[in-house]
A and B are shown apart, each in its own frame.
Chain A
Amino acid sequence: MDIIVASSDGELRRSLADLLGSSSNHVRTTPRSSELIQWAIDGEADAVVVDVDLVGMDGVEALPILKQLRPKVPIIMLSSDTSMEVSRRIAEIGVFYHFVKPVDPSDLMHVVRAVGGAGR
């Protein structure tokens, strides 16, 4: 699977790249919302893991743009904000799954496998 991981947290990006890359996935990572959107314009990915914390636009603001550019690409959202407002906005736009950080690696792998299964 071709997976994009976007987060301003370098440690989280590296951990997710290691975790997701271990299952013969091709993983691209970026800290910046601008690069994330440029990649979405470039073409489809099999899944996008987006942290609310991004450099530039935050993940919640980037989400409707991503959805409009690539409506079929499943988005897995990560946030540390458990407020109703953030959860409501994410749910309204519609994502495949919303994790509240810290993310359990096995749960994430389970969801990514589900994305892969849904795409087949």
Chain B
Amino acid sequence: MRIIIASSDDALRRFVAHILEGLGEGIRTVSRSGELLKAVLDKDYDLAVITLDLGGMSGLETLPILKRLRPKMPVIVLSEDNSAEVRADVFEGGALHYFVLPIHPPALVSAVSAAVRKAESRVQNPESRIKSHLKE
């Protein structure tokens, strides 16, 4: 599983990478929105974990662009902001999960594992993907 982690907070970036290192065969960390967008243009990632504090564009501005570039890549957002407004903006931007910091490692590991399992099952069973768009 290839995971990209983006945050301007060095310690948080390292911590998230440490939490997820057992899941990812290739974890890349970046601090700036530009690096994040360039990285996903250059290479396929299975999942992104981003914070709203990024160098350059904010995470809220970067998220919809990220989803347009890689619509199938699940994005998990971490932030200290617990407001309903930000939460709504994050989901509107296409995030799969929103975690309010401080981080609870088991919850993040569980969300990442589930997101990747779901994405993998869609790849292995394309029929299920088609069915999910059809009415019963």
Contacts and interface: CB of A to CB of B under 8 A. Distances in A.
A119 interface: no
A33 B56 contact: yes
Contacts, number: 41
A37 interface: yes
A41 B32 contact: no
B103 interface: no
Contacts of B56: 33, 56-58, 61
B41 A57 contact: no
Interface of A: 32-34, 37-38, 41, 56-58, 61-62, 64-65, 68-69
Interface residues of B, number: 16
Contact of B57 (A33, A41, A64, A69): A33
Interface in B54-81: 56-58, 61-62, 64-65, 68-69
Interface of B: 32-34, 37-38, 41-42, 56-58, 61-62, 64-65, 68-69
Contact of B65 (A37, A61, A64): A37
Question: Closest 7 A-B residue pairs measured CB to CB?
Answer: A61-B34, A57-B56, A56-B57, A34-B61, A57-B34, A68-B41, A57-B57
Contacts of B57: 33-34, 56-57
Nearest to A56: B57
A35 to B, nearest CB: 9
A38 B41 contact: no
28 contacts: A32-B61, A33-B56, A33-B57, A34-B57, A34-B61, A34-B65, A37-B37, A37-B65, A38-B68, A41-B65, A41-B69, A56-B33, A56-B57, A56-B61, A57-B33, A57-B34, A57-B56, A57-B57, A58-B56, A61-B33, A61-B34, A61-B56, A64-B34, A64-B38, A65-B38, A68-B38, A68-B42, A69-B41
